[in-house]
Amino acid sequence: MLVENIPLSLRNTIECLELPIYIKLADGACFPPPRLALGDTLMALGLLRNHGRPVRLYLSPSPEILPLLEAHPLVKEIVPPESGQGYELQEIGVARSGRPATWYARTVFSLKLGVLPVDRVRANPILAHSAYYRLARRDDWPSVMVDPGADRLSSLLSRQKPNLLVFPLNPGRGDFFWQDEAWWRELFSSLRPHFTLLAVGSRDYGSLASCLDAVLPMDDPASTLPNLAWLMTKASAFVGRDGGLAHLASALNRRVVTVWDSMASYRYWAGSRGHHLLFSNPYLFRYPQAGRMEEEDLRRHGRVNYINAQGQAVSVDMPVACAQSFARKAEEVFGGIANLAALLLSQREQMHERASVRAWMNGEQRREYYQQSLQWTLRAVKGELPAGENWVVPGGAL
């Protein structure tokens, strides 16, 4: 692609992505991290599909996720994991996006890219690991087997209009860069004449419930992952926030619209199927040099503030005058300079994500961008857009 053919708001200088590798494939066995959330598990199954051979899966899945693994033909056995079997991960006791800790992989794969608009600069764990292991198949969507008898939710389906599954509230996220129920209400109002709207994935839909035709609370006994997987194959389309259910939908339904409020999450979790709507587009993610921190940059942080794994605010004074003392303090508190750099870069990313959203949410562009995104989403779920077309909010200043 020629750079002059890329809109200004999507131009970037990213030539490669440094991708975390944390799922080990070796000798007919697969060793992911011992406990995975739904989205991570679906990524691992997508990798096994590309790998193409049955494996022993060393994992401790939750009871909710276990049926998806047991039904998959490439999981021949689920084995309790043992320490040291997989790739080493570094955990930092810093909360992020509602999770009590942040971790990063010590093994990294560099994926070269061509000249692409920023919404095509992405590689989820399926693609990253498939490229790392040099697999011939590199599809980047999850793999799920559907039980045709898991039809306990059939009574929710309408015969009068096409059924649209919506996932407007992600209870797995404790922090959002963007969330506006007014946008969702307006979207549902525009969709309702064309679809029967069925909401999934949350315990309580609050004021949004009145805009929907039916709601399925996540604590309903019938709201199991096999039942939801069956339901997604029967729906005309799916539109919802990024999260485990959006990944499940992308495995089973070709007409999926995923709403993202984080460019970082999009870059490392989105696949090529369906359409994506991005409400965050900070310049930081367009230029790799903006995301690097040298040691002299680290030593400008005389005080490091963060939220620990217990949800407590912590403040650490760093001895910036002496490089050796600074390194010793970083080792004592954070486990080393590399961990401190990862923490500060993570905080910097979040700061730019918030600033990018705040720039237009509090400005005159808000109404304009809402109109654009709502019209685009309506066209996407009706199947009126070319495959792979996305909508990205114009970026803000660095």
Summarised one tens digit per residue, pLDDT across range 16-27 is: 999 999 999 998
pLDDT computed for residue 157 by the predictor:
95
Q: Mean pLDDT throughout 102-123?
A: 92
- The overall average pLDDT reported for the chain is 92
pLDDT at 156 over 90: yes
Residue labelled with tokens 């999260």: 243
| Contact in structure between 229 and 252 (CB atoms under 8 Å) | yes
Contact predicate 39/271, CB 8 Å? no
Answer whether residue 369 shows pLDDT above 60: yes
More confident residue, 171 or 241: 241
More confident residue, 390 or 84: 390
For position 95, what pLDDT does the model report? 61
- DSSP letters for 305-364: EEE-TTS-EEEEE--TT-HHHHHHHHHHHHSSHHHHHHHHHHHHHHHHHHHHHHHHHTST
Report which of 259, 283, 266, 258 is spatially closest to residue 8, judged by C-alpha positions: 283
How many whole angstroms from its chain centre is CA 100?
Answer: 17
Residue 53 has pLDDT above 80, yes or no: yes
Strands (E), the chain: 16-21, 24-26, 29-31, 55-58, 75-79, 89-92, 102-105, 107-112, 163-167, 196-200, 214-216, 237-241, 256-260, 275-278, 303-307, 313-317, 391-392
- Distance CA(237)–CA(275), nearest Å, equals 11
Q: What is the pLDDT of residues 207-235, one digit of tens each?
A: 999 999 999 999 999 999 999 999 999 99
Bigger pLDDT: 101 vs 241: 241
Nearest to 261 by CA among 246, 274, 278, 285: 278
- pLDDT score at 10: 93
Amino acid at 31: F
- Distance, in Å, from the CA atom of 300 to the CA atom of 307, rounded to the nearest integer, reads 20
How many C-beta neighbours within 10 Å does residue 204 have? 12
What pLDDT digit, counting tens, does each position of 279-337 carry?
A: 999 988 898 887 788 888 999 989 998 877 677 888 999 999 999 999 999 999 888 88
The interaxial angle of helices 337-361 and 365-381, nearest 10 deg, is 100
Q: Of 153, 168, 160, which Cα lies nearest the Cα of 229?
A: 153
The token duo for 178 is 């963007």
| Domain 154-284+359-392 part of CATH 3.40.50.2000 | yes
Round the CA-based radius of gyration of the chain to a whole number and report it. 22
CA atoms within 13 A on the CB side of 73: 8
Share of the chain above pLDDT 70, in %: 96
Q: Evaluate the CA torsion angle 59, 269, 109, 356 in order and state its sign.
A: negative
Q: Which tens digit of pLDDT belongs to each residue from 243-284?
A: 999 999 999 999 999 999 999 999 999 999 999 999 999 988
pLDDT of residue 262: 93
> Above pLDDT 90, what percent of the chain?
73
Supply the DSSP symbol for 37: -
Please tell me the predicted confidence (pLDDT) of residue 223: 95
Residue-range domain boundaries for the chain: 3-132, 154-284+359-392
Estimate to the nearest angstrom the gap between the alpha carbon of 54 and the chain centroid: 27
Report yes or no: 260 and 266 within 8 Å, Cβ to Cβ. yes
Residues in the chain, total? 398
Of 88-102, 168-182, 196-210, minimum mean pLDDT range:
88-102
Cα(155)–Cα(231) distance, integer angstroms? 11
- Strand locations in 254-319, DSSP E? 256-260, 275-278, 303-307, 313-317
d(CA 393, CA 388): 16
User: In Å, what is the CA distance from 317 to each residue of 47, 101, 215, 305, 335?
Assistant: 43, 21, 49, 9, 15
Per-residue pLDDT at 2 exceeds 90: no
Contact 60, 134 (CB under 8 A): no
pTM (two decimals): 0.93
> 55-108, pLDDT tens digit by residue?
999 999 999 999 999 999 999 999 999 877 888 787 766 666 656 667 778 899
